[in-house]
Amino acid sequence: MYKAWRSIVFIGSLSLAAIPLFTSSVFGQTPIKLNYSVFFPAPHIHSVLAVEWGKELEKRTNGRVKVDVLPGGTLTPADKCYDGVEKGISDLGMSVFAYTRGKFPLTEVIDLPLGIKNGIQATRLINDYYKKFKPKELDGVKVMFLHAHGPGLLHSKTPVNKIEDLKGMKVRCTGLATKIVSALGGTPVAMPMGETYDALSRGVVDASMAPQESLATWKWGEVVKYTTEDFGASYSTGMFVVMNKDKWKSLPADIQKTIEKLNEEWIEKSGKGWDEIDKKGRETTLKLGNKIISLSKQENERWANAVRPLLNDYVNSMKAKGLPGDEALKFCLDRLK
């Protein structure tokens, strides 16, 4: 009887000893924490989508991963975001390729005036481009997914019905859009988004180029009267979501698989997000009594012909760098057809 009782006590003690191990391995596991630097302000749809991405990852991994989204460039400024990820300042980062012009030469194909019609089209295109070419300029990080805004159009204080109306017009723009403005006969004025409302209001510039979301998000609808749908010369701007390579390699294989599945879903969500806020911008400007000018097929072709030398310049520039710019451009144009 005594021996039997002693055996029960011994087995029980082993079970009790195993409880802390079981608890720490299942219930008390320390989650993997990822910080995510986003250049958009907190209310912007892509900051919201970044937060949703993190919450969905936490849900699908049963709390094994937690993501802290830091919007508004508070962790790393927009033009330092990519380097910040590469150096491990942030685990994840979202920003714009064009903020560091020359660093991603082949990927500049996305910013060319290709005649983009909407955000989902531009976003699918940049991801298809990446999967096809896997440019070495992005080898320093693990690419999560890419996205690109809807068509960059002309928003002006006076009507622009034909290309001649742009002659001498001071047009606020950034990046490659400065070359587009020049090719169309306007006078480019390089200026960040945050300064544009005041510049339009005071007459420092006569117009600005950007997607339609700016009419609501940046309140440009209050200081312009017209939007010209110049799809013949419309452009987009490529953006990245990337992860530090060492951090990626440190993640368990099942979590990596979950993230890659999530990224594919967020390509669609991001493209549709751009279209959603473009729609809001369009509705806002019309409610304010502003006019949207649609160019005829013939006039659109005139605008397209005016900016076509920029496509040739890109190809020649890439050729000088030993990069397949001609293939990248052809791929994108064929995809858009």
| Residue 142 lies in domain | 31-101+119-147+236-276
What's the CATH code of the domain at 249?
A: 3.40.190.170
For residue 83, tell me if it sits in a domain: yes
Angle at 29 between CA 26 and CA 31, to 5 degrees: 135
Closest residue by Cα to residue 238 from 88, 91, 89, 129: 129
For residue 164, tell me if it sits in a domain: no
For residue 179, tell me if it sits in a domain: no
Angle at 134 between CA 129 and CA 135, to 5 degrees: 95
For residue 42, tell me if it sits in a domain: yes
Give me 206's structure tokens. Answer: 């006569």
Residue 297 phi, psi (nearest 5): -60, -40
Cα separation of 36 and 90, whole Å? 6
Residue partners of 306: CB distance under 8 A and separation at least 6: 163, 183, 184, 185, 233
Cα separation of 312 and 305, whole Å? 12
* Total tally of structural domains belonging to the chain: 1
Cα separation of 271 and 106, whole Å? 21
| pLDDT recorded at residue 101 | 84
Residue whose entry in the numeric block shows the structure tokens 């180029």: 209
| pLDDT recorded at residue 20 | 39
Cα separation of 212 and 282, whole Å? 6
| pLDDT recorded at residue 3 | 46
| pLDDT recorded at residue 194 | 83
| pLDDT recorded at residue 8 | 43
User: What string of DSSP letters covers 251-286?
Assistant: S-HHHHHHHHHHHHHHHHHHHHHHHHHHHHHHHHHH
Closest residue by Cα to residue 234 from 272, 177, 189: 177
| pLDDT recorded at residue 28 | 58
Cα separation of 288 and 283, whole Å? 9
CB 230 within 8 A of CB 153: yes
Cα separation of 77 and 89, whole Å? 12
Q: Is 89 helix (H, G, I), strand (E, B) or coil?
A: coil
Q: Residue-wise pLDDT tens for the chain (337 aa)?
A: 444 444 444 444 444 444 433 333 344 589 999 999 999 999 999 999 999 999 999 999 999 999 999 999 999 999 999 999 999 999 999 999 988 989 999 999 999 999 999 999 999 999 999 999 999 999 999 999 999 999 999 999 999 999 999 999 999 998 889 999 999 999 999 988 889 999 999 999 999 999 999 999 899 999 999 999 999 999 999 999 999 999 999 999 999 999 999 999 999 999 999 999 999 999 999 999 999 999 999 999 999 999 999 999 999 999 999 999 999 999 999 999 8
Give this prediction's pTM.
0.88
Q: What is the average pLDDT value for the chain, to the nearest integer?
A: 92
Identity (one letter) of the amino acid at 66? K
Neighbours of 28 (CB within 10 A): 9
Identity (one letter) of the amino acid at 188? P
For residue 193, tell me if it sits in a domain: no
For residue 219, tell me if it sits in a domain: no
Give me 309's structure tokens. Answer: 């030398």
For residue 51, tell me if it sits in a domain: yes
For residue 137, tell me if it sits in a domain: yes
